[in-house]
A and B are shown apart, each in its own frame.
Chain A
Amino acid sequence: MHELSVASAVVEKVLEFVSAHSVKKVLAVRLEIGELSHIEAEQLRFCYVAITEQTPIQDSALEIETVEAVVNCERCRYRGRPKYWDDALSVGPIPTMECPNCGAAVEIAEGNDCAIKSIRFAVEDDGLAIPAA
């Protein structure tokens, strides 16, 4: 159930942003979740709604985008999507660490992180200066 700790980390960071700037309302928080991370989007959304209740970011949307996995092969210099094990389980293909090109073991290059990408918000009536992206 570490979706709850991930949701808490999101909320903590967003509330920190809200208190540092005069934000009127947070409309949306956009996350990128790597294909190889173990975070389940639906459970994360559920936790987010539950713990944002009665906070300044209640009712903000949690937009989740999946980042595709990319692997590197040291042996044949392949860089790209991993090889998938198609018939391992009925729910879907499993990404593996076997090079799709030469069969050696590969390293993960992308797709195992989970990050807040951006926050969409409306500012207070008196306006404010915010750091530009």
Chain B
Amino acid sequence: MIQTIEASPDEIYDIELEHSLLEANARLAKENRALLDRHGVTAIDVMGAIGSGKTTLISRLVERLKDRFGVAVFNGDATTSTDADLIANQSVPVVQIATVNGCHLDANLVGKALRKISLEPLRLVFIENIGNLICPAEFPLGSKARVVVVSVTEGPYMVRKHPHMFLGAQLVVINKIDLAEAMGVSVAELTKDVHKLKPDLRVIPTSCKAGDGLDEVTAALLAV
């Protein structure tokens, strides 16, 4: 029952609202997850900086998995469809999510994308987030696992500069390890930084171009 108080003219009142600003997104993320679960589909949210190799990683994983079961990809991109086009060449369902001015995907956009494709034949959906290492962490999408892709070309301090991104992640991929020596960046040090933030967070070094580490990433994602 709602109790009421009589307010007098020109009096000043404080009213408690307890209204969470992140709750609307969290609720939609739960709905997305329930929809995915009903269809036996696992969604993987792939986050990371621009140029870290998110699209290449997804493309390599799609290559390995698409003949085994149904895979779809959502490509979040502010303006272009270059990433979506690249994946579409692999003949799997692709939905381009253009955020235009938005700096992250949210559960509402992903929910709309989920309703655009047939979930029946699918087992896995990769969601490529916007290249950004801050905002996406705040907006769960309904995925079962969040993967952060860091590349050695982003320098030695990438992990400690963006700690929030790693706190909610289930897997970290350190990409472009074939360039580590040229960049003077230590993969071991980056891994150590990840474990300082979250001791149980799995780290897999990869070179998506040369194929190193992709078997491990595939196995890790199939186990989530």
Contacts and interface: CB of A to CB of B under 8 A. Distances in A.
Interface of A: 1-2, 6, 9-10, 13, 17, 24, 27, 36-39, 85, 88-89, 94-98, 103-105, 108, 113-133
B104 A2 contact: yes
B5 A123 contact: no
B5 A118 contact: no
Contacts of A13: 17, 19, 21
Contact of A129 (B6, B9, B161): B6
Contacts of A125: 9-10
Nearest to B104: A2
- Counting chain B residues whose Cβ lies within 8 A of the other chain, the interface size class is 35 or more
A132 B17 CA distance: 10
Contact of A114 (B3, B20, B135, B201): B20
Contacts, number: 133
Interface of B: 2-24, 103-104, 134-135, 137-138, 157, 160-161, 163-164, 167, 193, 196-201
Contacts of B21: 6, 9-10, 13, 114-116
Given A38-B164, A96-B197, A133 B15 contact: yes
B117 to A, nearest CB: 26
A118 B8 CA distance: 19
Given A6-B21, A98-B199, A118-B17, 4 more contacts: A88-B196, A108-B167, A121-B15, A123-B9
Given A37-B22, A127-B7, A119 B196 contact: no
Contacts of B200: 104-105
